[in-house]
């Protein structure tokens, strides 16, 4: 077993070259072969090379990669659920996942409840006789809350529930939910795993037994990934540990500096002692606290001007890339939520979410300070 840094780089299954050749063929010989190669069968060499690496990074036995994080999440959920079932979701999850649940589940008569991230460890009172799955995301979007995964896994095991964790914000470098007792890990690879804002994919890592179940539905839903994108992912994964370690360190420096800034009222970063979930984060995020942080300007009227004056940091959606990006969740990821609901979640107009990249942290801090000064 190699360290994470080495695992990111080293391809276990080599094809003479250091990198996996790109297999683009959708028509493959079948006479004399046990397995029929086909991209939608999730069995091409390029797909397998990535899954192998992600399994080693996440300590899982098996996995699948998909054409988006959403395809991965939807396939996992619909692999295990049927009409009459019930699911517990933590409230602070990606807006697109909420949309998937609220728009699709009623069509299939699948019931659900949302629980605040802080209460996920105490969700036992909400478990029903027909509850099948507990789904959470940690750290969460956009308030970077941290869910106690060991507590969730303990309750789930007691009631024989399947646990799914979206670990996109953490990456396998910082957190390994399977080691904390979670059954299935999902990633929007579009973020840190890809890491350059230029490709879209999703990943599922789990046990061989659960993967076999997911695989049967995955074949029917068809959300597989092509060889060319696989090649880019293989390339991106080589620098995952390097990138994330740098992003962890820079985010910590920026969060600490922003805390001292008189124009900022609150900083949300689990690495800060003041963060309400710092103790849990320190226990379960063994690699670092991640590259995502949020903060609120004291004067909400200045938010637009601040964003407009940034020179280096790019106001943009998505996250997890080498370029530092910033967004205002109330006007982007959570714009479709009714105002009352949004405010109840703590997402005010003054909230800004920063995805820290790999630039020089002094340049990033100067950009923030300059944009605030004017
Ligand atoms: C935490 C999280 N999970 C899932 C998704 C969905 O991933 P994709 O956009 O790759 O479908 C996103 C996208 O922003 C996300 O941030």
Of 53, 94, 148, 342, catalytic: 94
Could you report the per-residue pLDDT of 133-166, keeping only the tens digit for each? 999 999 999 999 999 999 999 999 999 999 999 9
The alpha carbon of 57 is separated from its chain's Cα centroid by a whole number of angstroms, namely 15
Contact, 123 vs 88, CB < 8 A? yes
Q: In the structure, what pLDDT confidence band is assigned to residue 12 with cuts at 50, 70 and 90?
A: confident
Q: 158-176 pLDDT, tens per residue?
A: 999 999 999 999 999 999 9
Establish whether 235 is a catalytic residue: no
Where is 227: in which H helix or E strand? helix 227-237
The string of DSSP letters for 311-367 reads SSSEE-S---SSS-EEE-GGGTTTTTS-HHHHHHTT--TTEEEEE--SS-HHHHHHH
Mean pLDDT across the stretch 174-203? Answer: 98
Say if residue 121's pLDDT is above 90: no
pLDDT exceeds cutoff 80 at 11: yes
Contact 194 CB / ligand 1 (< 6 Å): no
| pLDDT tens sequence across 337-357 | 889 988 988 999 999 999 999
Residue 191 annotated as catalytic: yes
Q: What is the pLDDT of residues 22-38, one digit of tens each?
A: 999 999 999 999 999 99
Q: Is the CB of 96 under 6 A from ligand 1?
A: yes
Question: 336 falls in which pLDDT band (50, 70, 90)?
Answer: confident
User: Counting atoms of ligand 1 from 1, which one is nearest the CA of 141?
Assistant: 1
Marked catalytic residue, from 4, 53, 132, 191: 191
- CA within 13 Å, CB half, 357: 21
Distance 318 CA to ligand 1 centre (A): 8
The SS3 assignment for 34 reads coil
Band (129; pLDDT cuts 50, 70, 90): very high
- pLDDT, position 16: 80
Residue 362: pLDDT over 90 = yes
Q: What is the pLDDT of residue 335?
A: 84
pLDDT of 27: 94
Q: Which residues pair with 297 in a beta bridge?
A: 264
Q: How far apart are CA 193 and CA 200, in angstroms?
A: 10
Structure tokens at 93: 């999850």
Decide yes or no: CATH 3.40.640.10 for domain 4-237: yes
Beta bridge partners of 64: 204
What is the number of alpha carbons within 13 Å of residue 362 lying toward its C-beta?
A: 0
Report how far residue 320's alpha carbon sits from residue 314's, in angstroms, rounded to the nearest whole number.
Answer: 13
CA distance linking residue 115 with residue 319, whole number of Å:
25
Residue 283 annotated in active site: no
CATH 3.90.1150.10 fits 241-373, yes or no: yes
Domain boundaries, the chain: 4-237, 241-373
pLDDT beyond 80 at 14: no
Q: Which of 153-157, 248-252, 329-333 has the lowest mean pLDDT?
A: 329-333
Query: Is 236 near ligand 1, meaning CB less than 6 Å away?
Result: no
Helix 69-80 and helix 95-104, axial crossing angle in degrees, nearest 10: 40
- Residue 94 falls in the annotated catalytic set: yes
Q: Which atom of ligand 1 is nearest to the CA of 201?
A: 10
Q: What is the mean pLDDT of the chain?
A: 95
Annotated catalytic residue, options 148, 166, 229, 367: 166
The first and second tokens of residue 332, run together, are 């982007």
Confidence tier at 120 by pLDDT (50, 70, 90):
confident
Percent of the chain with pLDDT over 90: 90
For the Cβ of 188 lying below 6 angstroms from any atom of ligand 1, the answer is: yes
pLDDT band at residue 304, thresholds of 50, 70 and 90? very high
- pLDDT classification of 101: cutoffs 50, 70, 90: very high
pLDDT in tens, 54-75: 999 999 999 999 999 999 999 9
Q: Is the CB of 247 under 6 A from ligand 1?
A: no
């Amino acid at each position: 077993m190699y360290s994470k840094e080495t695992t990111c780089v080293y391809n276990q299954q080599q094809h003479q070259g250091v990198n996996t050749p790109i297999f683009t063929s959708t028509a493959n010989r079948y006479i004399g072969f046990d397995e029929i190669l086909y991209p939608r069968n999730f069995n091409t060499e390029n797909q397998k090379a990535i899954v192998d690496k992600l399994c080693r990074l996440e300590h899982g036995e098996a996995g699948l990669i998909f054409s988006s994080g959403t395809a991965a999440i939807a396939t996992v959920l619909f692999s295990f659920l049927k009409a009459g079932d019930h699911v517990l979701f933590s409230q602070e999850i990606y807006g697109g996942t909420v949309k998937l649940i609220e728009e699709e589940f009623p069509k299939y008569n699948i019931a659900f409840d949302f629980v605040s991230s802080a209460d996920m460890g105490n969700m036992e009172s909400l478990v029903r006789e027909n509850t099948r799955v507990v789904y959470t995301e940690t750290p969460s979007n956009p308030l970077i809350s941290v869910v106690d995964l060991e507590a969730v896994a303990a309750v789930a095991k007691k009631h024989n529930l399947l646990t799914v964790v979206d670990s996109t914000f953490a990456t396998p470098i910082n957190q390994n939910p399977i080691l904390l007792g979670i059954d299935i890990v999902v990633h929007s690879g579009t973020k840190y795993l890809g890491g350059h804002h230029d490709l879209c994919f999703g990943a599922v890592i789990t046990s061989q037994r659960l993967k076999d179940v997911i695989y049967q539905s995955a074949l029917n839903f068809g959300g597989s990934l092509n060889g060319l994108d696989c090649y880019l992912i293989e390339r991106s994964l080589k620098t995952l540990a390097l990138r994330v370690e740098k992003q962890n360190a820079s985010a910590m420096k920026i969060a600490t500096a922003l805390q001292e800034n008189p124009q900022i009222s609150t900083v949300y970063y689990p690495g800060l002692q003041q963060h309400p979930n710092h103790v849990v984060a320190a226990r379960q995020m063994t690699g670092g606290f991640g590259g995502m942080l949020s903060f609120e300007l004291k004067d909400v009227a200045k938010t637009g001007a601040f964003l407009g004056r940034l020179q280096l940091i790019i106001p943009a959606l998505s996250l997890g890339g080498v370029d530092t990006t910033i967004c205002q969740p109330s006007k982007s990821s959570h714009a479709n939520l009714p105002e009352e609901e949004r405010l109840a979640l703590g997402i005010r107009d003054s909230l800004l979410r920063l995805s820290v990249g790999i630039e020089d942290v002094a340049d990033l801090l100067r950009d923030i300070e300059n944009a605030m000064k004017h």
